[in-house]
Structure 1
Amino acid sequence: MRRGLSFWLQLAFTVLVAAFLVVPVVLSMLAGVTQNYMRGLSSGVTLKWVGEVLALYQGTIGLSLLVAAATLLATLLVGVPAAWVMVRHPSRWTRAFEEIITLPVAVPGLAIALALILVYGGVREFRASWLFILVGHVLYTLPFMVRAVMAVLQSIDARTMEEGAASLGASAWQRFITVIVPNARPGILAGALMVVTLSLGEFNLTWMLHTPLTKTLPVGLADSYASMRLEIASAYTLIFFVMIIPLLVAIQIVGAGAPRSKAPRKSS
């Protein structure tokens, strides 16, 4: 089958856009393993800058992983049951609740952070701990978990499945654990992907909520670009990608291998 001129034009445009987005990232990561950025790779390859980043900013990396894991756990514990309740009992109240939890997505992160500071900033121990950042991340990422799980549950007619299990004598807890959660797995995995990546990369909200002792990876990255050599900042970028890309690939693989329920076919 011969491809027309429009196909090649679209392909060329796609390649150019991809190059425009990818090339700066690649060059930034390469700068993190060169002896001297101004001379490029001809100056030699080194891991010295990576070592300096780990020595200076290892605390920010560990804290980011801790906050992301805690955010994922919190959104799972809150988001999955909430999604099921809204699918199981649709009403104007559940629709209103859905809109309310979606507000943090529409409101700028700086505004959310300022609201949290105004309300809870007076609690000194809480304000100075990483739990303060965790609250902001949960508020920001919860809608992504809820929407992803709701979309799957609505597509497979989970209400009918749950009612069938109830007719067989299963309790509400048994129905949720053995029927709803397994069938919602694709949505849970998709929501987990979004929650973890958003938490690891969130900067605006975190920048307002952090203290000198609670810097996360993106805040440390901004600090390194502002106050360190460009090679160190680029090495920090390299570490960020080395951290997040395997995580994304692993979640994608798990999501692709997870059994997916199909919506029942209507009889003709």
Structure 2
Amino acid sequence: MNSITATSQPAGERRSRVRMPDARAWLAAGQWFVTLSLCAFLIVPVAMSILAGLTVNYFKGIASGFTLRWLGEVWTQYHGSVFLSLEVAAATLFITLFTGVPAGYVLARSKTRLSRVIEEFLVLPIALPGLASALALLVVYGGFTMFRMSVAFIVVGHVVFTLPFMVRAVAAVCASSDLRTLEEGAASLGASFMQRFVTIVLPNARPGIVAGALAVLTLSIGEFNLTWMLHTPDTKTLPVGLADTYASLRIEIGSAYTILFFIMTMPLLVAMQWLGVDATGQRNAAKKRGAVSVSKSKTTP
């Protein structure tokens, strides 16, 4: 009888310990609560703005009914800004690819103090407010009227702002020791610099190039502060038009403009998350190590 009672008490204690969550479970629940609260704090205003662009009357809410009228009006009035933003983003991407990829490769390979100073100067436009960078461009190049009034002036500003993102993403990949080993092996076989750069550097730097390209496109389409200072009535991009609609038109039209902005930028953000998070190649390297370990475990008896 005593033995049965002795064995039953620990089982009851174990059941009580299972029912009571430990400190780690409370910590995890707190983390989930904070994360979900932050998501709701960020997502709810966006959802309400989109809803305002699809309702007949924002102040009456959903009861007024849904309509695509505001989207049609925005497209009729501002489709030129949409295409101009795409043109500016494409031109910015082309220039940053042409200049940023070689610059990132050189900075990753060079170990001199001069290269570090150049890298700091490249990152300087990120540290400065966009208005300050735009003012500097206006002071230096504002006297050239044809250049000042053209779209090229905005493209230059966007290149100055986005080039560091391309250089940093490419440099992170080119700094890999495996890439250096491949280049040295190709050089020992007689490959020239251009052959090594085209056949070895560019294919291996593809994750960084893709991540940098997506960042450049997203930042160029959404840049407002710098563009607001550099634009003219004939060179109004998407973010500047968005500010105008919120300032001078109905809130429904401004919200519909926001929907149009999301339609353009969200695919780029999703692509950046899907492709650009592995700019250094660490995830692919981890997958390769995992595959190698699995293959070794299968081959070993």
Shorter-chain TM-score category?
A: over 0.9
Q: Which residue of 1 aligns with 2:259?
A: 238
Contact 1:105 / 1:140 at 8 angstroms: preserved in 2? yes
TM-score, normalising length: structure 2: 0.83
Quick check: 1:216 aligned with 2:244? no
Q: Which residue of 2 aligns with 1:159?
A: 180
Out of 155, 158, 167, the position equivalent to 1:134 is 155
Determine which structure has the larger helix proportion and give its number: 2
Q: Which residue of 2 aligns with 1:89?
A: 110
Distance, in Å, in 2 between the alignment partners of 1:256 and 1:145 is 14
Which amino acid in structure 1 is aligned with residue 235 of structure 2? T
Q: Which residue of 1 aligns with 2:77?
A: 56
Distance, in Å, in 1 between the alignment partners of 2:90 and 2:99 is 14
Instruction: Give the % identical residues.
Output: 61
> How big is each residue's C-alpha offset from its partner over 1:105-161, in whole Å with a ceiling of 9 and x where there is no partner?
111111110111111111111101111000010010111111111111113442222
Q: Which residue of 1 aligns with 2:209?
A: 188
Contact 2:88 / 2:155 at 8 angstroms: preserved in 1? yes
1:1-268 matches, cutoff 5 A: 4-253=25-274, 262=285
SS at match of 1:41: helix
Which amino acid in structure 2 is aligned with residue 189 of structure 1? V
Q: RMSD of the TM alignment (CA)?
A: 2.2
Contact 1:156 / 1:262 at 8 angstroms: preserved in 2? no
Q: Which residue of 1 aligns with 2:10?
A: none
> How big is each residue's C-alpha offset from its partner over 1:10-46, in whole Å with a ceiling of 9 and x where there is no partner?
1111111110011001100110010000011111110
Q: Which has the higher contact order (CA 8 A, sep 6+)?
A: 1
Distance, in Å, in 2 between the alignment partners of 1:257 and 1:96 is 27
SS at match of 2:190: coil
Contact 2:211 / 2:275 at 8 angstroms: preserved in 1? no
Q: CA deviation at 1:255?
A: 5.2
Q: CA deviation at 1:192?
A: 1.2
Distance, in Å, in 2 between the alignment partners of 1:253 and 1:153 is 21
Q: CA deviation at 1:168?
A: 1.3
